[in-house]
Amino acid sequence: MTKPFSPLSRRMLLGALPAAGVVTSLAGSVAGQSQGPLRGTVSEGIVQPLSIAIMIAGTEPSGNNIGEQITKVIIADLQSSGYFAPIDPRAFIQTSLDVNLSPAWENWSAVNAQFLANGRAYINANGQIQADVHLWDIYSQKEVQLSTNPNNPGIGFANNPVEWRRVAHKHADLIYERLTGEKGYFDTRIAFVAESGKRGARVKRLAMMDQDGANPQYLPVEGSGKIITPRFSADGNEIAYMALSADSARIFLYNVRAQRGEQVGQVRGMAFAPRYSPDGSKLAFSVSQGANSDIYVMNLNTRAASRLTSDPAIDTSPSFSPDGSRIAFTSDRGGSPQIYVMGADGSGARRITFGGGLYSTPVFSPKGDLIAFTKQSKGRFSIGVMNPDGSGERLLTSSYLEEGPTWAPNGRYIMFFREPPGGMPSLWMVEVNGRIERNVPYPGGASDPAWSPLLE
Amino acid sequence: MNVSMKSIVKVALVAFVMTSVAACTKKEVAPPPTVTPPVATTPAPKPTTPVPPAATALPPVGVAPGSQQDFIVNVGDRVYFDTDQSSIRSDAEGVLAAQAAWLIRYPSVKVRIEGNADERGTREYNFALGARRAQSVADFLTSKGVVPSRISTISYGKEQPIATGADEESWQQNRNSHTAIVSGAN
């Protein structure tokens, strides 16, 4: 029960736990947001989300109940993951617990809690918001180590008070990791295109927000034109995007810290569909010259670009494998848009999609075990995943129009955008096994999401 | 089918407009509006000649030859494509031939061919598809004698729809190439 926690938790997730019907139904009201119902899948069998109680206490000197705020964010994070059913705090029997003490086990098993995250939030000596949290396994009546420090199995994260939500996300990430065996993804950001205005005269701006939709902001991009397809560098410090004006299509690199953008290279024709290599040293993109579109790769240090494909057909949407050795891309060289994989030097291109329908926007998962894609079939668009050789295709979601998949850094979730007929686009996320599908809130049109790596 | 019927009607209408405008100018020898400026806001007096029922579709009297308006109204600045195709359809050939003739007649005009796609494709692919359509039109114009240096091309992918519906009729409208005059018009 102690050290190798992930295998155990996997077993728990797969249904060895008592049902938590009451708890699950309560949980819906907790998050308070319109999140889709939890959905098990055939491939995983019937899955019960882990029921967990979150209880962080603490008040700032100003009287602000920071503990409650952090609790709410952790609950919303875990709830949205599809793997947890947080319990409504109003159901708690034990309503306060010193962070250094063990819980009253029977009070927690009485509300069907399988786990309890108990902690306190306060302003530390450096003036930062800090939360110290311990995680308890109610059934085995033991602490689950959140930190690697054997003398202090709990964990504390601190941050500047303005970024108190990150303190909550960090804790949610660790709880998620300890109990599912996968890295968390809550302390991440989404770069996207904020859309406004009428169709046909859309204003498209570069924007960024937290993974849960909090703290949306426009990024100060110079110049005019529509901003299209932002993509994060692997370290999250840069965003490559396409800027489209009446007479040009160019790629820019935006430095997130310096809040500055610069155009990369001067190519004849249109440059679009940028994507970083995993080590950040290269940028792959498409160049259209005349009727032909090919994939190029640029060394970002020397700014020298070389052409990888020379087929007269359309070659676009390049995406590197995580080891940098291969590039998946969209091509219609066979007569219709399909997905191909080639060596990172352009060698040995091979078609991998034969499922009937049109395939595009391939994106390698962070582990390289899957490729996410957009499929068009029977008048609908779907987001799906398949093995890098094209086998094992699974469609996760479908609608009138959706595209642009981007992976969470842990490879378990895909965000994309969906546009209803004649309507504004919005961001959605789905779990790779179809466990959850939910809207990512943003007050306006939102498209072309790009998921950042975990923040430092 | 619906669409090609439409296009035929459109071509016919354009032809009609062209002939009727030609007839008008022949009869009246209309002075350029700048010579006898009426009060800017009052509409021009109605012509005494009887107007056909389609009068509302007629261009304003006095479109200056060689102007952008002339090009748009009397030639046609947009042609349409089939789904995921960039070949010039037969119903587009007449319009493009007229574009070429007009451009040869006004040699100082420079144009930008803007390729567009409907929303039934993914964003990046549609940029490439629109580029193909624009080039297809550019090739047609140069084959008719327009000097290539007068033509530039760009693709707007699916970013500039002209029809906002979510049906085949709107998608057809949005699969187009637009010939925009960038300089040199009267």
| pLDDT tops 60 at residue A94 | yes
- Beta carbons of B128 and A336 less than 8 Å apart: no
The CATH architecture one would assign to domain A27-180 is 3-Layer(aba) Sandwich (3.40)
- Residue B16, domain member (yes or no): no
Which domain range does residue B70 map to? 63-183
pLDDT at residue A160, rounded to an integer? 79
A131 and A121 in contact (C-beta within 8 Å)? yes
Written as six digits, the tokens of A297 are 């790769």
Measure CA A223 to chain center. Answer: 29
- Beta carbons of B121 and A337 less than 8 Å apart: yes
* Residues within 8 A of B (CB atoms), A 285-344 only: 286, 288, 290-291, 293, 314-317, 330, 332, 336-337
* Whole-number Cα distances in Å, B50 to A295, B24, B53: 60, 12, 10
Distance from CA of B62 to the nearest CA of A (A): 29
Q: What percent of chain A lies above the pLDDT cut of 90? A: 77
Would you list the domain boundaries of chain A? 9-18+187-451, 27-180
pLDDT at residue B29, rounded to an integer? 40
Q: Which residue has the higher pLDDT, A98 or B1?
A: A98
Substitution target from B124, B129, B132, B160 for chain A, most A beta carbons within 10 A: B124
- Residue B160, domain member (yes or no): yes
Within a 13 Å sphere around the CA of A368, how many CA atoms are in the beta-carbon half? 10
Q: What are phi and psi of A79, to 5 degrees?
A: -60, -45
Distance from CA of A292 to the nearest CA of B (A): 7
- Beta carbons of A360 and B165 less than 8 Å apart: no
Which chain B residue has its CA at the smallest distance from A312's CA? B132
CA distance A307 to A293: 11
Which top CATH class is A9-18+187-451?
mainly beta
* Whole-number Cα distances in Å, A200 to A380, B105, B129, B170, B174: 22, 32, 18, 12, 10
- Residue B154, domain member (yes or no): yes
Which positions in chain B touch A204 (Cβ < 8 Å)? 159
Which positions in chain B touch A315 (Cβ < 8 Å)? 128
Quote the ipTM score: 0.88
- Residue B135, domain member (yes or no): yes
Q: Which residue has the higher pLDDT, B164 or B62?
A: B164
CA distance A174 to A180: 10
N residues, chain B: 186
pLDDT at residue A339, rounded to an integer? 98
Provide the domain count of chain B: 1
How many degrees, rounded to 5, is the angle at CA A273 between CA A271 and CA A278?
Answer: 120
**Using one digit for the tens of pLDDT, what is the confidence trace for A110-160?**
999 999 999 999 998 888 899 999 999 999 999 999 887 777 777 778 777
Measure CA A186 to chain center. Answer: 8
Burial category of A169 from C-beta neighbours within 10 Å (exposed 0-12, middle 13-18, buried 19 and up): buried
A402's enclosing H/E stretch is strand A402-407
- Beta carbons of B128 and A448 less than 8 Å apart: no
A377's enclosing H/E stretch is strand A371-377
- Residue B100, domain member (yes or no): yes
CA distance A44 to A27: 22
- Residue B30, domain member (yes or no): no
Which positions in chain A touch B121 (Cβ < 8 Å)? 337, 358, 360, 376
A251 part of contact set with chain B, CB < 8 Å: no
Q: What is the CATH number of the domain that holds B115?
A: 3.30.1330.60
